[in-house]
Amino acid sequence: MTGKNISSYKEFILLGFSDLPNLQGFLFGIILVIYICILLGNGLIIVIINMDRALQTPMYFFLGNFSFVEICYTSVTLPRMLRNLWSQKRQITLLSCAVQLCFFLNLAVAESFLLSVMAYDRYMAICKPLYYPLIMNHKMCVRMVIGSWVTGIPIIIGQTYQVFSVPFCGSNILNHVFCDMPPIMKLACGDTSGIEFFIFFDCFLFAFIPFLLILYSYIRILSTILKLSSITGRSKAFSTCSSHLIVVCLYYGSGVIAYMQSMYNYSGRTDKIFSLFYLIVTPMVNPMIYSLRNKDFTEAMRKLFSKYVR
């Protein structure tokens, strides 16, 4: 297919882990177990939050929505990855690839905004406790969640259409585990500088700005906590923020940095490992972080199990 424009063709070929033929079964088993853990762990968070009245607060409302995003986020990519490993059929139509990329990017944007919303919630609770019940009412929380879900949709759809409107030439082989922006742009030919500019603009708008808002919120939170005279009060304030901070570090450390780095210098094997990390690690450890480090959630889980498991 060298030298031909493959825009007239109907599919890409996802290489995945085809360079490790002896580990296909092992990788399938590992990824399947991880995917099941992600579904069960995040699903359990949603169930417990909805069943326990003590957890009907803005913080847990946002956490439940975040867990739902995590389930959707991994379900966009992991099932097809498992299918490719099981059947060794690596073809994906251009339409399916575009749909997967569009949903993946929209869910990544929603996750980024939800993390900033959760940081704002902690900022209001710690820095402005008197105004917290008035501002963070249920209607406002619902609006913030809806905003997190829909804000990026029109821009991401336009970006996806723009990417798949360019001619692809040379090869239809994607050296990646799913349809992601860097390997797709690697196959594009002609002048792609305009598209690359908008990609970096989207990264700035949907990743860097939410990160700055999170950073600002925690600077204000830290400043307020250090002014507390009570050691118990400081400890309690830190404990309510620590779980969210860990998730933020995992998400931005593994996802955004790796994604932007790959746009500058894409290398197949390295980026496959990075992509698996931000695709799997954060959704998998999220339930453990919140359940093990949160006394209210641990107590709610204990009540649920003691009620239904006897």
pLDDT digits (tens, 9 = 90+) for 20-72: 778 888 889 999 999 999 999 899 889 888 888 878 889 889 999 999 999 99
Q: Confidence band (pLDDT; 50, 70, 90) for 4? A: very low
Burial class (CB in 10 A: 0-12, 13-18, 19+), 143: exposed
* pLDDT attached to residue 264: 57
Which position has the higher pLDDT, 250 or 127?
A: 127
Q: Confidence band (pLDDT; 50, 70, 90) for 2? A: very low
- Determine the average pLDDT of the residues in 216-238: 80
* pLDDT attached to residue 309: 60
* pLDDT attached to residue 1: 42
- What domains are there in the chain, each with its CATH number? 6-308 (1.20.1070.10)
CA dist., res. 119 & res. 273, Å (int):
29
pLDDT digits (tens, 9 = 90+) for 74-129: 999 999 989 988 888 888 888 999 999 999 999 999 999 999 999 999 999 888 88
Could you tell me the pTM of the whole model? 0.88
pLDDT digits (tens, 9 = 90+) for 154-171: 999 999 998 888 888 777
Q: Are 88 and 21 in contact (CB under 8 A)?
A: no
